[in-house]
Amino acid sequence: MAVTRQQLMACLDELLQPHQLNDYCPNGLQVEGTDTIKHLVTGVTASQALIDRAISENADALLVHHGYFWKGENPALVGIKAQRIRQLLGNNINLIAYHLPIDVHPKQGNNVQLGELLGFKNLAPLPSLKPNGIVYSADTAKPVRAGELHAHIATQLGRAVLHEGDKNAIVKTVAWCTGGGQGYIEQAAQAGVDAFITGEVSEQTIHIAREMNIHFYAAGHHATERYGVKAVGEWVGSKLPVTVQFIDIDNPA
């Protein structure tokens, strides 16, 4: 049971079509390790804790949603970035990262996976936003009170969720963007949905929610983005002779 790095990358690129998106980081192979891959570890962010786990699990490759080399950051390999990359290279582990391609993918993407986890119906990308699929909208499984939706999201994600709005109001339609998508709340309100869900909250998000009369839920950047990379890994495991293991490093943010 093994594949070459080239076979793995070809499989991922075919699924995720990274060349179609203009992203804030390089998508694909970010740090080159061994040519032969038997064990693939997946996780949300290439933090030191995830690298340590990948090493202890004998990973040949680590596939993440949040890799390195973001636009605007100091490109020098110093500090924690040097430490992380030294460990990857020293252990011959490939680091593979896909950012927007994992957010927007119509099956394995973060947005679709979260919508399915929450049991929404009639999922569709909110039109006119680029890239297509960055915000999704849907109907709730049935009309629910905003407070019930709050409890439902918290149960499904296993964490506390922030809700702004009247908990007794009825919610029938939702829009969402996993991760740090709070900037899309105005577009969601303009699209006429009852509620907007994302990972993070900013001070101004609450005022926009109140003044545009839309329910707002912040359910955690990490918690809302666990499911895309996990699904991509499972898909790879169904296509290629590699073992795949998702490792969740808890993050309250």
Q: Which residues bind Zn ion (CB under 5 A)?
A: 179, 225
Of the pair 137, 178, the CB lying nearest Zn ion is at: 178
Report the nearest approach of Zn ion to the CB of residue 15 (Å): 19
Pairing of strands 170-177, 162-164: unpaired
Of the pair 109, 179, the CB lying nearest Zn ion is at: 179
Of the pair 194, 225, the CB lying nearest Zn ion is at: 225
Q: What is the largest distance, in Å, between two alpha-carbon atoms of the chain?
A: 57
Between the alpha carbon of residue 250 and those of residues 50, 169, 220, 223, 226, the distances in Å are 10, 32, 11, 8, 10
Of the pair 125, 179, the CB lying nearest Zn ion is at: 179
Of the pair 134, 195, the CB lying nearest Zn ion is at: 134
Report the nearest approach of Zn ion to the CB of residue 66 (Å): 6
Report the nearest approach of Zn ion to the CB of residue 213 (Å): 28
Residues comprising the chain, all counted: 253
Report the nearest approach of Zn ion to the CB of residue 224 (Å): 8
Measured distance CA(215)–CA(247) in Å, rounded: 32
Closest residue to Zn ion, based on beta-carbon distance? 179
Report the nearest approach of Zn ion to the CB of residue 45 (Å): 8
Relative orientation angle of helices 226-239 and 110-117, to the nearest 10 degrees: 100
Q: Which two tokens stand for residue 168?
A: 């007794």
Preceding amide of 125 cis, omega within 30: no
